[in-house]
Amino acid sequence: MAPSIEIENKGLIPQHDLPTPEPDSPFRPRQPYRFGTLCATVENPDQKDQYGSSSVPIYQSATFKGISGEYDYSRSGNPTRSHLEHHIAKISSATNAFAVSSGMAALDIILRLLKPGDEVIAGDDIYGGTNRLLTYLKTHGGVTVHHVDTTDPKNLHAYIKAGKTAMVLLESPTNPLLKIADLATIAADVKTRAPDALVVVDNTMMSPYLQRPLEYGADIVYDSATKYLSGHHDLMAGVITCNREDLAKQMAFVINSVGNALSPFDCFLLLRGVKTLAIRMDRQQETAMVVATMLDRLGFDVHYPGLANHPGREVHERNADGYGAVLSFTTGDKALSERILGAARLWGISVSFGCVNSLISMPCIMSHASIDPAIRAERGLPEDVIRLCVGIEDPADLIDDLEHALLEAGAITVSAGADQHHFVRATIAREGVSISRAVEKLAFNENTAPRENREWFVSAPGKVILFGEHAVVHGVTAIAASVDLRCYGLTSPRHDGKVALRFSDLGDFYHEWVLDDLPWDAVTSIGVGDQHPELLDQKLIEAIQKRALPSLLDSNASAKAAAVTFLYLYMIMAQKAERPSFSFTVRSTLPVGAGLGSSASFSTCVVTALLLLHRRLTLPAIPEPTREANDADPGHIHVSHEGRRAVPMEIAEEVNRWAFVAEKILHGNPSGVDNSVAVFGGALAYTRPGFGRKPGMEPINGFKSLRFLLTDSRVPRDTKRLVAGVAAKKLAEPEVVGHLLEAIQSISDEARRALGDPELSRKALLEALGALISENHAHLVSLGVSHPVLETIREKTAAEPYRLSTKLTGAGGGGCSVTLIPDADVNEEVLSDLINLLAESNFRPYLTSVGGSGLGILSAYSPNNHEGPITPPETPNGLPDDQFLAARESLRSAFEEKGVEELPGWANERGRWLYV
């Protein structure tokens, strides 16, 4: 904070040294209240509240009764506004104050004092909105505007002309370069050379707490009260102060005529904000000094009057009682500055300042974008300048977040040989920023293997809901299990600065994006180890949809949603300036859109691949596995759910958190069941909160893998319509539906006990499940969520000689059915006949198992080497580059060309899979 400046040295008697609210004591005269007390004490001797309220009442009235009262119409005057204006005048050394609808409204009122032919002198570094309004006056109002560097009062002399110069418009400090104007000297020069000219000062940056330009000869001062006076960005307001009655009358006439006075409620909010002005500003400018010092130490060109090297510091200390809470700095490269903005998290990207929350912006593309780039260049406004507006957060958190943003963007690096918290400025090349490789090697203790040579093969299962469909919406427990039909994803490195997607099962969609062309300006990246916020970043989603998607996706809704999900996750996970270039191909043995959790298995594959490529996961060495071959899953390497896990639980949980984010993008409000099954495999019970039962998801330990026949009816289902139908039926027939829901809950409870009972024989389990399946389906039919095609499938599977239990799964209304296949009671030839029968009826049957493994990860480079960590080496088995590239392309080509039936076996042969 700046040293305290004695009032006597300013040569003026401050108007805010008003008497205390209570009479002086005859024994000891009271001293005038200090500024912080004046802010907190809202007292107007001429407007005493009849009830003695400690907070000024809101007179939320447009009109007032009577013909001789002080108030008649709130456009012209309002008691709440009068309290506010008296208070603003008190703390501004003013006799008159006006509260209007915004800071720009305040300037508009002031500029209406001009007439055609007048000349205005303004600074060359001013707020973009001010420049816009002056340009309008110059174009449409016949007013001449001169933009001058106001840091030297002599620069104005050539433009000050008696009879012509009508106004000198100043900012000090300026926005955003924080140039300083000698207010007292300029005001004296103007009065000497053009006595009729008005000196107007925009004091928003300082507020009356730190600077009161009326004390230095200014005629009019205005603030955007949206900023520091309010302090919370919950209202828009502007204030004007002056000590000349003639000017006050003219501006009052304009306000009354135009009707832009501040509303009573906003006056109340602004009064409340002003009470804490002093304490907020003290905290904010103290932290601003810490931030400015840190950036200056790193070697950035920092603009802040509190720094010893600031050219206007001495003048500023004569003007003000502090240095303020706004600073700016340049990086030397616009793209680098944009990356810094995108990497910040605690510093919110916003065009404004003055709030209790810290903000960051690039004025040339935000608040000052309305100024022509050529004019910005002429006035010396750097395109790469970053403005920081410091809030009241803990300084340590702000510094930490800013350091991470600078590091992630490549603006700084870790100093070799120093401790991990010692940062230095990264090298700036002529063409732009040359990011030191030390960032890659030292930041966040990352693995130093070249990212461009990483290739990952991942897979995740689908899911079936065995019991509780639709009833789960009303609080009934659902039993969900993984199904060994899987989604597979393969990443293939490339070296051309692009990322490519191929969705083989979604119209064989393929597209490539140039990484630098993606909307990085809309990204608020998530730090390594940090969790995604509860809400999605809608700004980023909209930017991707509007600026990154090819037009061919307009006719492919599923691929469009999948592409948005992939790009959102890729961009929000990216750290620093490092953006891995690769191709990602997705294939599935799951029927897409059939209610078997295909989107969740896709989400799990996408986030796993991205977490690995962005080095957010570190996999351990491969343990000695146990091989558990079965008919549906020959040769897979499994780790028992009761024993060791090849993929540690903490990694699986991290994948699951991000997979839930992906599901949010795809579905809006998912339950979390599908992604949990896709990651962890096995089976779980899910109960929705808010219905009296214990909510949440619990694994069913000891679940025994079961054979099922899944049949895709190939009839689309409308989940929302079906859910709404059950709700409507419940409203119309509450007792009937209530009994059905209780019955389904009993079925889920019984199935959960049976599936987790280690003492129950396999035969008894299958018999119990078969009966529960039939009973559950009957209740779902009564709820109205089945479909004729599902009933046809049930009839065929229940007929002789099959006699199998079948029910719908998922949404119903089409979609899929599940048929339990007893281990020993079904002849394989008879089962083959049933599969053929269903296929001939235009259905798609899949013989598979339920309750198997979850997420799988394979290193495609090491099929014969199981030593060491799973992280792939730079080349497979030390092959030269040409053979390495050929091997990689061979793998990708084979993956894309294999038939659906061949895909699982081919994938299992690639090497050792690690499963959750």
* Residues with active-site annotation: 75, 127, 202, 227
630 close to 849: Cβ distance less than 8 angstroms: yes
Give CA–CA dist 848/33, Å, rounded: 82
Strand partners, 482: 463
Classify residue 262 as exposed, middle or buried by CB count within 10 Å of its CB (0-12, 13-18, 19+).
buried
Q: What is the length of the chain? A: 916
Give CA–CA dist 669/661, Å, rounded: 10
SS3 at position 390: coil
CA-closest candidate to residue 806, choices 715, 795, 716, 785: 795
Number of CB atoms found within 10 A of residue 726's CB: 22
576 close to 442: Cβ distance less than 8 angstroms: no
Dihedral sign, Cα of residue 189, residue 193, residue 198, residue 202: negative
Give CA–CA dist 586/606, Å, rounded: 9
SS3 at position 240: strand
CA-closest candidate to residue 910, choices 859, 842, 839: 859
SS3 at position 612: helix
Give CA–CA dist 186/160, Å, rounded: 10
Long-range Cβ pairs for the range 859-865 (8 Å, 24+):
859/456, 859/457, 859/911, 859/912, 860/455, 860/456, 860/457, 860/490, 860/891, 860/910, 860/911, 861/455, 862/911, 862/912, 863/910, 863/911, 863/912, 864/911
419 close to 561: Cβ distance less than 8 angstroms: no
SS3 at position 238: strand
129 close to 370: Cβ distance less than 8 angstroms: yes
Amino acid at 141: G
DSSP characters over 411-426: SEEEPTTS-TT-EEEP
Per the structure block, which two tokens stand in for 498? Answer: 């692009």
70 close to 224: Cβ distance less than 8 angstroms: no
What are the strands of the beta sheet with 386-389, ordered from one edge? 301-303, 326-330, 386-389, 359-361, 348-349
Strand partners, 388: 327, 360
Strand partners, 483: 462, 850
First-to-last alpha carbon distance for the chain, in angstroms, is 56
Per the structure block, which two tokens stand in for 189? Answer: 């020069």
887 close to 877: Cβ distance less than 8 angstroms: no
Amino acid at 692: G
Report residue 653: phi and psi, to 5°.
-65, -40
473 close to 490: Cβ distance less than 8 angstroms: no
Give CA–CA dist 545/214, Å, rounded: 51
Give the CA distances from residue 455 to residues 208, 651, 829, 876, in Å, rounded to whole numbers and listed in that order: 60, 18, 42, 11
DSSP characters over 247-308: HHHHHHHHHHHHT-BPPHHHHHHHHHHHTTHHHHHHHHHHHHHHHHHHHHHTT-EEE-TTST
